[in-house]
Amino acid sequence: MSELHVPAIQLNDGNLIPQLGLGVWRVDDAVAERVVSEALEIGYRHIDTASFYQNERAVGRAIAASGISRDELFVTTKLWNTDQRDPHGAFHASLERLGLDKIDLYLVHWPVPTKGTAVGAWRGLIELVGSPECDSIGVSNFEIEHLTELQRETGVVAAVNQIELHPLHQRRELREFCADRGIAVAAWGPLGQGITDLLQRPAVTGAAAAHGKTPAQVVIRWHLQHGTIVFPKTTHRERMIENAAVFDFALSEAEMAAIDALDAQHRLGGDPYVFTGE
């Protein structure tokens, strides 16, 4: 079993979260157990899943088989949109599927403003956090007005906001808003989901050539240097190893600026103002 020296970020509730992890979105349950097992063997200690991904059981089986002490692992999962009226029930269902005694970070998956259920869901998470079963709570895909509403209605600020974030969609205003309130930002789709030309852009390939790294490693490094929590998704062991080999170099200010300049506000995923998942 390997060891990765991944830096941790301190959340606004005092808990620590590894800055690099493995995401398992769109990884079938039949494949996810192998993928997570390999990631844990390589040295990953942060796994990001969700009830909607339908692979929590596989994640749990891999963790159970790993023999790794629970206090060395960080597991994130999420409350799905249709469960927002019963956050306690959904939380405990995820806990059961994972086969764990606690969830390190539990997120409201989407704000679904057309339903008006997010604040109630957030109140439910507030009731859970700090119990032996839940260390930290946050949100995913929340825009500034959604975050503002949660704080106004409950007085409790999310520890994390997980958003679509990559060099073509940099969300600078939202990131600044989160930074001002101590909300850590986590990136999903950090490499552009493999459906853009991001990894062929000269700003990325040039930095890769300069450092003897791959374009993907450069983009992951860009996220890390911006202080973002990042969990690139892959089902390939060699790519997991590659994605983690990003702590032995640093991008220069000029290289960071060149990648910063790629921002095109190009969203690839759902629009948080209208997405319901139905």
Residues involved in catalysis: 53
As a whole number of angstroms, the distance between CA 163 and CA 171 comes to 9
C-alpha 46: how far from chain center: 9
Q: 106 is written with which tokens?
A: 């539990």
- Do residues 11 and 104 make contact, with C-beta atoms less than 8 angstroms apart? no
Dihedral, CA atoms, 123, 129, 135, 138, nearest 10 degrees? 10
Which residue matches tokens 């940099």?
170
- Tell me how far CA of residue 211 lies from CA of 62, 115, 218, in angstroms: 34, 48, 9
Give the bridge partners for 105, in sequence order: 76, 136
Task: Fill in the DSSP letter of residue 85.
Answer: T
Q: Is 129 exposed, middle or buried (0-12, 13-18, 19+ CB in 10 A)?
A: middle
Give the three-class secondary structure for 180.
helix
Closest by alpha carbon to 74, among 41, 42, 49, 110?
49
